[in-house]
């Protein structure tokens, strides 16, 4: 039986301010009393687990970069504790033997998914490779809150998934209840979700600046050009010839030209807000750096719209957001300045071509582009302040 129940408080009391967007938590363990379950998704510590974190987390696919990043972030989370970790090819090993930088943490040994007891966890992060997640999540207990970091549930259109990922969708019914987890733009839906499809890294860096502009009808739906660049960690930890040091260092390589799998995800989100089909020109590039992502986006402004209007729209859209920052006018976002953090920095510049503008958006592909946003989403799903465990500042130099 789960040690976490749904209550109206976390270690005492939980109240809402500003339309439930800001949650304050007051901790007073001496006054914690059992209360009947409520429909609110706030959690509290069970008395017999006072020395442990109160929400038990299962991590599937812990031996990849996103799995390791989840573990790193949860080290500073006051409520989430990892109690189950799977990695089929590393089963039986300790996490510090796979990732020595996590030696200081007390973690369970890695096991195979087939040996996992999901009755002992309250929520799951799924960091398995694309194409392997649908059957596994479909078989999980329905009481679990799940954030899936693969691409297996991001596309609502089943036929589109099959076209871009080259295999049939095996959880069609489950797909109907999935919520897409672009946190700042869809948090109200995320609050009520059981299963969240965490966005891809490129779609995060692209949609955060473009969605508010399309929604306000400030840019045209046509001729959107996205020139995106990522560190090599975005390609995963698997051994690949193209990821060898001698192949990556001292050079830039384009990949997935016209056929990158994040294209339909980007177009799905932009088309939703535009209420018509949006088609983009998207080309990603692999950079000789470990982590970091920059999307440089070229747009045509609507008649009569100025670059200043785009800037003010983004500024007002994100002025209350912790993790999305529109920089001062003229300041160019740099990947160095978001490294290791859950922040997205962006800005808008006038193009030399009249009627066009240039938008630059930067994130850490492993944090805001993956594990950090996943943690932000699970915080929301469980009624916690979404910044919990994520307020560490970028690492520089």
Q: Is the CB of residue 12 less than 8 Å from the CB of residue 32?
A: yes
- 146 is written with which tokens? 């799940």
Active site residue 201: yes
For the stretch 276-281, contacts whose Cβ atoms lie closer than 8 Å and that sit 24 or more positions apart, written own/partner, are 276/221, 277/221, 278/214, 278/221, 278/224, 279/222, 280/206, 280/224, 280/225, 280/226, 281/223, 281/224, 281/225, 281/226
What's the DSSP call for residue 9? Answer: -
Q: Which residues does 164 contact at the CB level (< 8 Å), separation at least 6?
A: 155, 261, 263, 264
Q: What length does the chain have? A: 397
**Pairing between β-strand 80-86 and β-strand 110-111 as defined by DSSP bridges:** parallel
Give the residue from 23, 62, 28 showing the smallest Cα distance to 41. 23
Q: How many Å apart are CA 176 and CA 157, to the nearest integer?
A: 10
Q: Please pick, among 14, 126, 127, 201, the residue that the annotation labels catalytic.
A: 201
Q: Which residue, chain included where needed, has tokens 């009520």?
A: 192
With vertex at residue 391, the alpha carbon angle to CA 339 and CA 63, rounded to the nearest 5 degrees, is: 60
Please give the helix or strand (H or E) that residue 293 lies within, else none.
strand 293-300
> Max alpha carbon distance in the chain (Å)?
66
Catalogue the E-assigned strands of 110-182.
110-111, 123-126, 145-148, 179-180
Catalytic residue set: 201
């Amino acid at each position: 039986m789960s040690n976490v129940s749904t209550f109206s408080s976390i270690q005492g009391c939980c109240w809402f301010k500003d339309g439930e967007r800001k949650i304050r938590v007051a901790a007073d363990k001496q006054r914690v009393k059992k209360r009947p379950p409520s429909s609110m998704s706030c959690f509290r510590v069970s008395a017999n687990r006072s020395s442990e974190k109160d929400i038990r987390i299962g991590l599937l696919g812990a031996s990849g970069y996103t799995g390791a990043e989840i573990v790193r972030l949860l080290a500073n989370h006051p409520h989430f504790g990892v109690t189950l970790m799977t990695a089929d090819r590393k089963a039986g090993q300790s996490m510090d033997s796979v990732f020595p930088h996590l030696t200081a943490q007390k973690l369970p040994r890695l096991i195979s998914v087939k040996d996992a007891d999901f009755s002992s966890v309250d929520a799951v992060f799924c960091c398995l490779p694309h194409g392997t997640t649908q059957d596994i999540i479909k078989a999980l207990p329905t009481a679990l809150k799940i954030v899936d970091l693969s691409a297996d549930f991001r596309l609502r259109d089943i036929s589109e998934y099959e076209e871009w990922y080259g295999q049939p969708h095996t959880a069609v019914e489950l797909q109907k209840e999935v919520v897409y987890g672009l946190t700042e733009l869809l948090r109200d839906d995320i609050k009520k979700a059981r299963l969240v499809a965490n966005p891809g890294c490129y779609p995060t860096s692209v949609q955060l600046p473009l969605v508010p502009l399309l929604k306000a009808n400030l840019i045209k739906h046509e001729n959107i050009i996205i020139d995106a660049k990522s560190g090599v960690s975005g390609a995963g930890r698997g051994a690949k010839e193209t990821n060898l040091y001698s192949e990556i260092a001292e050079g830039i390589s384009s990949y997935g030209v016209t056929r990158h799998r994040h294209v339909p995800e980007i177009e799905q989100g932009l088309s939703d807000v535009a209420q018509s089909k949006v088609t983009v020109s998207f080309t990603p590039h692999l950079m000789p750096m470990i982590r970091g992502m920059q999307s440089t986006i070229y747009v045509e402004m609507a008649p009569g719209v100025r670059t200043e209007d785009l800037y003010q729209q983004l500024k007002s859209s994100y002025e209350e957001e912790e993790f999305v920052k529109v920089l001062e006018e003229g300041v160019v976002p740099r990947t160095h300045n978001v490294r290791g953090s859950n922040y997205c920095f962006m800005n808008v510049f006038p193009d030399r071509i009249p009627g066009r503008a240039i938008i630059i958006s930067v994130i850490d592909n492993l944090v805001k582009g993956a594990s950090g946003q996943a943690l932000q989403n699970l915080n929301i799903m469980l009624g916690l302040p979404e910044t919990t465990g994520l307020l560490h500042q970028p690492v520089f130099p």
